[in-house]
């Protein structure tokens, strides 16, 4: 899992876990969820998922600056700086930002790779995405495979806030 990888690789620099942000959406009848919710957000469909978010306008990150670490499924992790204009970030703002960054990463990967993604209908046996050799080195999963369950929030000894994503596939 992405979260475990980030925690192990960056345990020295992330600091202390101070907050865990859950992200759930209202289930549709097709989801057949016993409690009418799903404990994740589809990364490929964040614009649609935002409409089903539970408590979308709740400020879930009470800091105006943070760095977002995206490391799954990437051989070369990406780090983005976030700035909020108000008292912090709402759940909706974080989900939108994360979805936009994942879409950007996959687009940049495709543009910069010499080894292109094998189309799903041309994959043999295992249908996992092939590894590409672009800017990020995306491996194993198409964007449509990814879902976000939680965002782990860390603070280091200098006060830097880091966001680590628990991405499932």
Q: What is the pLDDT of residues 22-33, one digit of tens each?
A: 999 998 888 888
At 1, the pLDDT band (50, 70, 90 cuts) reads very low
The residues spanned by each domain of the chain are 2-99+142-168
Which distant-in-sequence residues (6+ apart) come within 8 Å of 117 by Cβ?
A: 110, 129, 130, 132, 138, 142
Q: What is the pLDDT of residues 94-139, one digit of tens each?
A: 999 999 999 999 999 999 999 998 888 888 877 899 899 999 999 9
């Amino acid at each position: 899992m992405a979260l475990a990888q980030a925690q192990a690789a960056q345990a020295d620099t992330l600091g202390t876990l101070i907050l865990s942000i859950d992200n759930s959406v209202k289930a549709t009848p097709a989801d057949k969820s016993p409690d009418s919710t799903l404990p994740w957000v589809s990364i490929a469909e964040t614009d649609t998922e935002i409409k089903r978010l539970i408590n979308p306008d709740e400020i879930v990150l009470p800091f105006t600056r943070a760095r977002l670490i995206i490391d799954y499924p990437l051989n070369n992790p990406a780090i983005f700086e976030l700035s909020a204009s108000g008292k912090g970030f709402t759940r909706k703002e974080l989900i939108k930002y994360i979805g936009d960054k994942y879409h950007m990463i996959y687009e940049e990967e495709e543009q910069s790779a010499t080894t292109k993604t094998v189309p799903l209908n041309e994959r043999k046996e295992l249908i996992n995405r092939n590894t590409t050799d672009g800017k990020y080195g995306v491996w194993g999963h198409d964007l449509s495979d990814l879902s976000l369950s939680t965002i782990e929030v860390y603070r280091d000894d200098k006060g830097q806030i880091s966001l680590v994503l628990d991405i499932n596939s």
